[in-house]
C-alpha cells in the first residue's frame, strides 16, 4: 500500500501542470544561462519509468530560452537544455533511440520577458510523449500517462486501496468470530471455574472463563470513526498488563490507526509502581508513521505519570520528552547547494489525566495536555465514555483533539467501538494491587530545514571599465555575492600596465596612483570559506598626456658673419614638435647642426609645429663677398641611389659619384634630415655608414664643397623592412 501511495504522489507531481496546458506534461525550468537540470526530478523519474515499461513510446524534448542574449547563443543553449533532460531520462533507463531533442531558442514564449518570473517560465524544456495506437500516432497527455503508469485508471487504483482496507476489517471480524467459537468450545470442555473473589484484589487479575487468562488488564479494542474532514478512520488496539507484585507491574500495549491520508502504529512499554493511593509510571513509546506522499518515519518518546487513586477514580499528571525524532520524510533541492528537508519532531507535553466510574457499568476518562510547540494548536485533549455491555465487552465513544500531528489547524477525531477482554470493564477505583496507567500518545510536528550539500563559487563584479580618468588616485570598487552566504575574502592583482602599488588590495575597494596616458588592467578574485573562487577584470584608461606647445630652445649660426667661402655652423634644439623644418633645408631632426657655406648672406627660419600650435625663429648668416672673386664652378653632389633593405644592420651611404668640373678637391659632410636619429660613422667621408633598425625610413643629405665657395647638396632615402 505504501508503494501505491508513493507512486500516486509522484504521478500527481507530474500531472498537475502549472506552467503548461491542461493536458500537457510538466515543463522543466532552468536557471539563467544554465542547462543543468535542477527541477522536476520526480516528474522526470515517473516519465522514465513509464518509458521503460512501454518501450515503444516516443518522446520529443524541445528546449526554449528567454529573450536575453543573441539568437544564435539562445538556439544553442536551448538545444543543450534539451540534451540535458534527455541524458537524465536515459540515465533512468529510457531508450535513447526513442528520445529526440530540438532547440528552438527564443520561440513560443509562455510569459512576457519583462519580469524575472516571466523569463524563468520561458527558460524551459517541453516534453511531448507519443504512443502509436492502431497505426495512429497520438500525443500522450497527463491523464493518459497516469493510466500507463498504473496499468489502469487512477480512480480504479484508489478504489482498490479502499477495498483493501475494508477487506482487512472484514478479515478481522471473521478472525474474531473464529476465535470466539474456539473459546466457547474450550469452555464447554473445561471444568467450572472457581468463583471469583469479591474483594478489590480479585478483579485485578480476573480470568474470562476457564484457563484462558488475561492476567491483570489485557484485551483488544476496535473502533471506527470520522475526522474533522468527515473522512473515515479505523483503529485496533491491544494491551497487556501483569502485576508482578502487589506494588509493581509491567505494561505493554500497541495500536494501529488508519486515516484517509496516513497510517500510524504506536507501541508502548511501561513499569508501574503503586503504594497506597499513589501510583507512578515510567513509559517508553515508539511510533511508526506513514503519510501519503512522504517517506515513513519512526519517533520515540519517554513519559512519566503521577496518579492519585481514590474510590471512584483517579487523577494525575504526566509529562513527556522525546528520545528519538528527526526522521526526514521529504526533501527537495534548492538550487545546487541546499537540500530542503521536511522532518518529524516529537512535541513535549505536560498534562492532566483523569478517570471516573459512573456507577457499576459506565466510566468517563480523558486527558488534557499543554504542548511545547510554535504552532497555534498548542492544546491536546481526549475524552472517552465507556459502557460495559458484559463482563468482557465494553462499548465506548471517543473524542480526540490533536491526537497526532500538530499544526496551526486543530484536528479532531470522533470514534465509537468495542473493547473485548478483561480490559473491557471501566475500572478506575482504588485497589490494593497495582493497576495500569494511561500512557500519553506521541504527538509530533513537521518542520523544514535547509541542509548544505554543495558549494558554488562567488559571483564577482570588478566594476565597470573606467575611461578618461584624470591622473592621480584611482579607486577600484568591486562587489561579490555568494549564493550560500559564505564569508568572502578579496584579492586585487594587476594584470597589465605600468606597475603600481595597490592600497587595500585585500578589500572590496582598492586604490592606486594612475599616470596620465597609461592604461591598466586589474583582476579581482574572491574566495569563499570552502575555497571556491570567482573573478572578474576591469580596465582603467587614463587621460592622455597634455600636449605642450612647441618650443625652440635655441637656433643660431656660429659664426653668424663669414667671408665668402667660409663655413658657419647652423645649430638648433627644439621641444614638443611633431614637425621641425628649416627653410631651404627641409625636414630636420628636433635637434642638430649643419655646417654651411652660404655664398651670400642668408636668413634661415626654423619652424616647429604640433597640435598645440606653431613657433618659428630665424638665424641670419652674413657673408662678406670677396673683393676679386675667383672664377669657380660649384661641384655636383651625388648621394647615390635610394636604398631598400630587408634586413637590419649596417648601411653604407655612397657619395663617391660627386665631382667638380674644375677638378677641385671636394669635402663631404653628411647630415640626417629625417627618421629616427642614428649615428653616422665617417660623416665627413664619401662613404659613411650607420646601423639601421627594422621597419624604419631615413633621409640623409650630402653637402659637397670644393674649398672655393662652391657647394652642392643631394638627398638619399634609406628604407629597411
Give the residues across from 702 on adjacent strands.
670, 714
Question: Percent of the chain at pLDDT above 70?
Answer: 86
Number of alpha carbons in the 13 Å side-chain half-sphere of residue 113: 13
Tell me the backbone φ, ψ of residue 158, rounded to 5 degrees. Answer: -65, -40
191 has pLDDT over 80: no
Interstrand relation of 613-624 and 602-610 (parallel, antiparallel or unpaired)? antiparallel
Residue 577 and residue 609 in contact, taking contact as beta carbons nearer than 8 Å: yes
Alpha carbon 334 to chain centroid, angstroms: 8
Rounded CA-CA distance 486/643 in Å is 69
Give, for 490, the enclosing helix (H) or strand (E): strand 488-496
3-state secondary structure 518-533: CEEEEEEEEEECCCCE
| Cβ atoms < 10 Å from Cβ of 147 | 17
Residue 665 and residue 712 in contact, taking contact as beta carbons nearer than 8 Å: no
CA dist 9 → 5, 267, 331, 515, 629 (Å): 6, 28, 14, 68, 124
**Cα 377-378-384 angle, rounded to 5 deg:** 90
Interstrand relation of 466-469 and 533-542 (parallel, antiparallel or unpaired)? parallel
Tell me the backbone φ, ψ of residue 126, rounded to 5 degrees. Answer: -95, 145
Q: Do domains 2-151 and 551-720 have the same CATH topology?
A: no
> Running DSSP on this structure, what letter comes out for residue 627?
S
Task: State the average pLDDT for the chain.
Answer: 84
Rounded CA-CA distance 594/570 in Å is 5
Question: Percent of the chain at pLDDT above 90?
Answer: 55
24 has pLDDT over 80: no
Tell me the backbone φ, ψ of residue 375, rounded to 5 degrees. Answer: -80, 160
Residue 542 and residue 469 in contact, taking contact as beta carbons nearer than 8 Å: yes
1 has pLDDT over 60: no
C-alpha cell of residue 418: 468495542
What would the pLDDT profile of 262-302 be if each residue is shown by its tens digit? 999 999 999 999 998 899 999 999 999 999 989 999 999 99
125 or 150, higher pLDDT: 125
Lowest model confidence (mean pLDDT) among 31-35, 348-352, 596-600, 717-721:
31-35
Give, for 700, the enclosing helix (H) or strand (E): strand 696-705
Lowest model confidence (mean pLDDT) among 225-229, 350-354, 455-459:
225-229
Query: Which of 482, 541, 550 has the alpha carbon at shortest distance from 514?
Result: 541
Give, for 160, the enclosing helix (H) or strand (E): helix 154-189
Rounded CA-CA distance 161/152 in Å is 13
| Cβ atoms < 10 Å from Cβ of 707 | 14
Number of alpha carbons in the 13 Å side-chain half-sphere of residue 398: 24
Placement of cell 483493501 in the chain: 164
CB burial of residue 672 (10 Å; 0-12, 13-18, 19+): buried
Q: Which CATH architecture has domain 213-451?
A: Beta Barrel (2.40)
Rounded CA-CA distance 9/3 in Å is 10
182-207 average pLDDT score = 40
432 has pLDDT over 70: no
Tell me the backbone φ, ψ of residue 164, rounded to 5 degrees. Answer: -65, -40
Give me the CATH code for the 551-720 domain, please.
Answer: 2.60.40.10
Residue 339 and residue 331 in contact, taking contact as beta carbons nearer than 8 Å: yes
C-alpha cell of residue 717: 632615402
C-alpha cell of residue 345: 519532531
Residue 144 and residue 53 in contact, taking contact as beta carbons nearer than 8 Å: no
pLDDT at 171: 59
Give, for 162, the enclosing helix (H) or strand (E): helix 154-189
Lowest model confidence (mean pLDDT) among 227-231, 441-445, 446-450, 587-591:
227-231
Tell me the backbone φ, ψ of residue 177, rounded to 5 degrees. Answer: -65, -45
Q: State the distance between the two ends of the chain, measured CA to CA, in whole angstroms.
A: 89
Residue 418 and residue 169 in contact, taking contact as beta carbons nearer than 8 Å: no
Rounded CA-CA distance 155/167 in Å is 18
CB burial of residue 352 (10 Å; 0-12, 13-18, 19+): middle
388 has pLDDT over 90: no
What would the pLDDT profile of 416-430 be if each residue is shown by its tens digit? 988 887 554 445 666
Query: Which of 297, 306, 303, 266 has the alpha carbon at shortest distance from 284?
Result: 303
Give me the CATH code for the 2-151 domain, please.
Answer: 3.30.1330.60
3-state secondary structure 186-208: HHHHCCCCCCCCCCCCHHHHCEE
C-alpha cell of residue 599: 655664398
What would the pLDDT profile of 668-720 be if each residue is shown by its tens digit? 999 999 999 999 999 999 999 999 998 899 999 999 999 888 899 999 999 99
Lowest model confidence (mean pLDDT) among 189-198, 223-232, 466-475, 568-577:
189-198
Residue 531 and residue 454 in contact, taking contact as beta carbons nearer than 8 Å: no
Rounded CA-CA distance 325/345 in Å is 5
What is the torsional sign of CA 283, 313, 307, 319? positive
Q: In 22-124, which residue ranges form alpha helices assigned H by DSSP?
A: 41-53, 71-91, 116-122
Rounded CA-CA distance 30/120 in Å is 7
Rounded CA-CA distance 512/424 in Å is 90
| Cβ atoms < 10 Å from Cβ of 200 | 14
What would the pLDDT profile of 324-382 be if each residue is shown by its tens digit? 999 999 999 888 888 899 999 999 999 999 998 887 788 899 999 999 998 998 999 99
Where do the domains of the chain lie?
Answer: 2-151, 213-451, 459-542, 551-720
Alpha carbon 33 to chain centroid, angstroms: 12
628 has pLDDT over 70: no
Q: Which residues contact 543 (CB under 8 A, 6 or more apart)?
A: 468, 469, 470, 471, 516, 517
Residue 527 and residue 489 in contact, taking contact as beta carbons nearer than 8 Å: yes
323 or 530, higher pLDDT: 323
Domain range 459-542, its CATH number among 2.40.10.120, 2.170.270.10, 3.40.630.40, 2.60.40.10: 2.60.40.10
Residue 286 and residue 324 in contact, taking contact as beta carbons nearer than 8 Å: yes
Interstrand relation of 338-346 and 328-334 (parallel, antiparallel or unpaired)? antiparallel
Torsion of CA 315, 319, 324, 328, to 10 degrees: 90
pLDDT band at 4 (very low <50, low <70, confident <90, very high): very low
Rounded CA-CA distance 185/190 in Å is 9
Amino acid at each position: 500500500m505504501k508503494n501505491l501511495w508513493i507512486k500516486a504522489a509522484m504521478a500527481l507531481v507530474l500531472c498537475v501542470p502549472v506552467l503548461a496546458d491542461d493536458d500537457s506534461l510538466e515543463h522543466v525550468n532552468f536557471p539563467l544561462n544554465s542547462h543543468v537540470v535542477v527541477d522536476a526530478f520526480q516528474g522526470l523519474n515517473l516519465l522514465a519509468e513509464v518509458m521503460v515499461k512501454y518501450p515503444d513510446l516516443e518522446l520529443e524534448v524541445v528546449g526554449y530560452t528567454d529573450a536575453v542574449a543573441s539568437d544564435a547563443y539562445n538556439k544553442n543553449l536551448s538545444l543543450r537544455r534539451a540534451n540535458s533532460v534527455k541524458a537524465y531520462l536515459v540515465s533512468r533507463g529510457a531508450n535513447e533511440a526513442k528520445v529526440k531533442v530540438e532547440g528552438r531558442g527564443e520561440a513560443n514564449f509562455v510569459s512576457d520577458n519583462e519580469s524575472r518570473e516571466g523569463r524563468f517560465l520561458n527558460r524551459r524544456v517541453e516534453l511531448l510523449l507519443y504512443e502509436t495506437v492502431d497505426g495512429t500516432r497520438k500525443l500522450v497527455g497527463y491523464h493518459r500517462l497516469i493510466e500507463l503508469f498504473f496499468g489502469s485508471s487512477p480512480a480504479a487504483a484508489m478504489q482498490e486501496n479502499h477495498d483493501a482496507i475494508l477487506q482487512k476489517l472484514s478479515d478481522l471480524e471473521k478472525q474474531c468470530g473464529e476465535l470466539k467459537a474456539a473459546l466457547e468450545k474450550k469452555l464447554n470442555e473445561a471444568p467450572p471455574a472457581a468463583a471469583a473473589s469479591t474483594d478489590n484484589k480479585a478483579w485485578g487479575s480476573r480470568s474470562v472463563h476457564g484457563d484462558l487468562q488475561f492476567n491483570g488488564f489485557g484485551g483488544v479494542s476496535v473502533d471506527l470513526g470520522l475526522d474533522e474532514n468527515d473522512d473515515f478512520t479505523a483503529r485496533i488496539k491491544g494491551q497487556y498488563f501483569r502485576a508482578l507484585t502487589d506494588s509493581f507491574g509491567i505494561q505493554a500495549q500497541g495500536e494501529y490507526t488508519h486515516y484517509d491520508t496516513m497510517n500510524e502504529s504506536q507501541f508502548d512499554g511501561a513499569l508501574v509502581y503503586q503504594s497506597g493511593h499513589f501510583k507512578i509510571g515510567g513509559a517508553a513509546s515508539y511510533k511508526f508513521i506513514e503519510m501519503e506522499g512522504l517517506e515513513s518515519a519512526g519517533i520515540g518518546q519517554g513519559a512519566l505519570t503521577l496518579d492519585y487513586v481514590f474510590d471512584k477514580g483517579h487523577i494525575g499528571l504526566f509529562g513527556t520528552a522525546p528520545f528519538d525524532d528527526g526522521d526526514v520524510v521529504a526533501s527537495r533541492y534548492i538550487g545546487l547547494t541546499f537540500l530542503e528537508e521536511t522532518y518529524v519532531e516529537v512535541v513535549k507535553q505536560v498534562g492532566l489525566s483523569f478517570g471516573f466510574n459512573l456507577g457499576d457499568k459506565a466510566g468517563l476518562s480523558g486527558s488534557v495536555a499543554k504542548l511545547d510547540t510554535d504552532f497555534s494548536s498548542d492544546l491536546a485533549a481526549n475524552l472517552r465514555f465507556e459502557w460495559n455491555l458484559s463482563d468482557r465487552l465494553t462499548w465506548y465513544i471517543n473524542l480526540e483533539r490533536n491526537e497526532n500531528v500538530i499544526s496551526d489547524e486543530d484536528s479532531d477525531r470522533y470514534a465509537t467501538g468495542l473493547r473485548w477482554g478483561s480490559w473491557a470493564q471501566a475500572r478506575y477505583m482504588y485497589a490494593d494491587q497495582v493497576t495500569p496507567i494511561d500512557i500519553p500518545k506521541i504527538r509530533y510536528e513537521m518542520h523544514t530545514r535547509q541542509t548544505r550539500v554543495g558549494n558554488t563559487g562567488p559571483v564577482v563584479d570588478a566594476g565597470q571599465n573606467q575611461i578618461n580618468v584624470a591622473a592621480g588616485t584611482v579607486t577600484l570598487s568591486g562587489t561579490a555575492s555568494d549564493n550560500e552566504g559564505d564569508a568572502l575574502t578579496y584579492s586585487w592583482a594587476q594584470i597589465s600596465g605600468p606597475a603600481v602599488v595597490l592600497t587595500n588590495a585585500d578589500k572590496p575597494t582598492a586604490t592606486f596612483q594612475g599616470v596620465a596616458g597609461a592604461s591598466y588592467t586589474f583582476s579581482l578574485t574572491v574566495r569563499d570559506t570552502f575555497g571556491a573562487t570567482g573573478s572578474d577584470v576591469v580596465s582603467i584608461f587614463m587621460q592622455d598626456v597634455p600636449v605642450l606647445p612647441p618650443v625652440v630652445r635655441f637656433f643660431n649660426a656660429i659664426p653668424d658673419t663669414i667671408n665668402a667661402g667660409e663655413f658657419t655652423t647652423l645649430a638648433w634644439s627644439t621641444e614638443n614638435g611633431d614637425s621641425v623644418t628649416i627653410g631651404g633645408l627641409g625636414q630636420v631632426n628636433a635637434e642638430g647642426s649643419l655646417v654651411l657655406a652660404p655664398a651670400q648672406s642668408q636668413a634661415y627660419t626654423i619652424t616647429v609645429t604640433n597640435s598645440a600650435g606653431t613657433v618659428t625663429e630665424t638665424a641670419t648668416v652674413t657673408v662678406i663677398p670677396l673683393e676679386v672673386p675667383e672664377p669657380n664652378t660649384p661641384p655636383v653632389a651625388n648621394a647615390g641611389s635610394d636604398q631598400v633593405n630587408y634586413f637590419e644592420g649596417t648601411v653604407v651611404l655612397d657619395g663617391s659619384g660627386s665631382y667638380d668640373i674644375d677638378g677641385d678637391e671636394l669635402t663631404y659632410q653628411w647630415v640626417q634630415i629625417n627618421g629616427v636619429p642614428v649615428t653616422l660613422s665617417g660623416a665627413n667621408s664619401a662613404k659613411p655608414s650607420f646601423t639601421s633598425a627594422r621597419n624604419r625610413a631615413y633621409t640623409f643629405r650630402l653637402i659637397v664643397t670644393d674649398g672655393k665657395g662652391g657647394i652642392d647638396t643631394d638627398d638619399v632615402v634609406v628604407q629597411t623592412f
